[in-house]
Structure 1
């Protein structure tokens, strides 16, 4: 597997986004997943902002299936330019529980995803008919919501332990279902992989988010695994479910 790093334009002048690509050894065009990183915990440790996130467990899984995995770093994260502005409180205490500040941070993440998709649309080594979005934690809820906000873009959306605000904020009960609901218009089948003992999002809350998504017209399958927020790093707990889901995506594309 080969990793490549490059920078693409964002919506903000002078602020480029870092993207890491994990590619199969054979020539493309490749079916491709855009996989989104999460938050930095409580948002208080600025040293975490500059870490480039490209989990090998995800890259290996998709490359072994012949897919390319792209790991974009949103503004202010990794080596991307710009300020990290995804809902941080002005007093430096970490992520704000204020709904208005939180939603503005989410919209900023959507802007970065728009920039990534514009770039992906121009890549000749991407099979544009087999494009999937995924992510973990904040990246998981972003994947589901963005697929619905930009319908007819993705074949599938994969959510590992998704949520925008953790249970440390009472407003998470409002914010998370509101954002997930935005994914309903995608029209595609989605896969929700959650840890039953997640320390940030109670499993009952996650199921409630899924039910809200379904009641708004969304489609998908919810899987509860016997672990916590580190589910993504335990592929034995999700590999069979993801294999089944990816096979369904491939078959639906072939039948079109």
Structure 2
């Protein structure tokens, strides 16, 4: 069944977020995962902002397991209202490498996920004891960090090729580990699925991010696959790992 779309209030007055929601065929409360999109490449092509993000194979993956999956489109993205502003440079040159600007963009994304969580708490079809979070690229790092920032709310986090700044920014070596470590406060399980040939994040950088997360107290498993940044779209490379992780959440 294709995902349906709804609008919910955003953190900004008179601005609504668009959500795509796919659920299994039952009226009972079900476990739910929020699955987050990434960036727009370099951040200079505004035509990309309007593209909706709700991959059908991920809808099927979760709903076939009995989970509802929610794909938030953050402000200014995918049909959501407002201006897209997750760390863009003021001169229009795309994403800024300045840590303060990048981190402000991250905090803006966190506020949008807070709005999604507030919406889920109003729904009778959500099992509030089993809400997880996941995503790809910026959505992956956002999910790991958010789970630690809101540790009482989430039972696990899924990270595909996560990172906030790519290696074109020298500051990615400080910004990405800093954000990931925010996730360590949640002792729930996490899974990190990375491509060994990712064009944005070298696998050694990703592994250091994971090791720093674990050293700070986080719990998780790290898996590398012979793929680039589009690993999410190659289920044969990750399905057995994610199956095992989901079984832990469902136990």
What is the TM-score when the length of structure 1 is the normalising length?
0.97
Structure 1 position 165 matched with structure 2 position 137? no
Do 1:31 and 1:67's aligned partners in 2 also have CA atoms closer than 8 Å?
yes
Distance in structure 2 (CA, Å) of the matches to 1:196 and 1:184: 24
- 2-structure distance, mates of 1:203, 1:235: 19
In 2, Cα distance between the equivalents of 1:214 and 1:31? 26
Gaps (5+ residues) in structure 2? none
Q: Which position in structure 2 is the counterpart of 1:41?
A: 41
For residues 39-118 of structure 1, what are the structure 2 equivalents within 5 Å?
39-118=39-118
Q: Cα distance, 1:152 vs. partner?
A: 1.2
Cα deviation per residue 1:144-168 (whole Å; 9 max; x = unaligned)? 0000000111111000000000000
Please state how far the C-alpha of 1:48 moved relative to its aligned partner.
0.3
Distance 2:28 2:5 in 1: 17
Displacement after TM superposition at 1:57 (Å): 1.6
Find the aligned partners of 2:85 and 2:52 in 1 and give their Cα distance: 17
Q: Is the 8 A contact 2:39 2:137 kept in 1?
A: yes
Q: 1:27 — aligned with what?
A: 27
Paired residues of 1:97 and 1:169 also in contact (CA < 8 A) = yes
**Structure 2: how far apart are the matches of 1:169 and 1:115?**
30
CA distance in 1 between partners of 2:96 and 2:81 (Å)? 22
Confirm or deny that 1:247 pairs with 2:242. Answer: no
Aligned to 1:254: none
Give me the whole-angstrom Cα distance separating, in 2, the residues matched to 1:87 and 1:28. 39
Instruction: Give TM-score, length-normalised by structure 2.
Output: 0.99
Residues 24-75 of structure 1, C-alpha deviations (whole Å, 9 max, x = no match): 1222311110000000000010000011100112111001111111000000
SS at match of 2:220: strand
Q: Is the 8 A contact 1:2 1:23 kept in 2?
A: no
Aligned residues: 251
Instruction: List runs of 5+ in structure 1 lacking aligned partners.
Output: 252-256
Q: Secondary structure at the match of 1:201?
A: coil
Say if 1:143 and 1:158, in contact at 8 Å, map to a contact too: yes
Q: Cα RMSD over matched residues?
A: 0.7
Structure 1 runs of 4+ aligned residues shifted over 6 Å read none
SS class of match (1:49): helix
SS at match of 1:188: coil
Partners in 1 of 2:162 and 2:56 — Cα distance? 19
SS in 2 for 1:219: coil
Rounded to whole Å, the distance in 1 between the matches of 2:164 and 2:110 is 13
User: 2:202 and 2:2 mapped to 1: Cα distance?
Assistant: 37
For 2:238 and 2:81, the matched residues in 1 are separated by 34
**Does the 8 A contact of 2:3 with 2:59 survive in 1?**
no
Match for residue 13 of structure 1?
Answer: 13
Distance 1:112 1:9 in 2: 9
Whether 2:103 is the aligned partner of 1:120: answer no
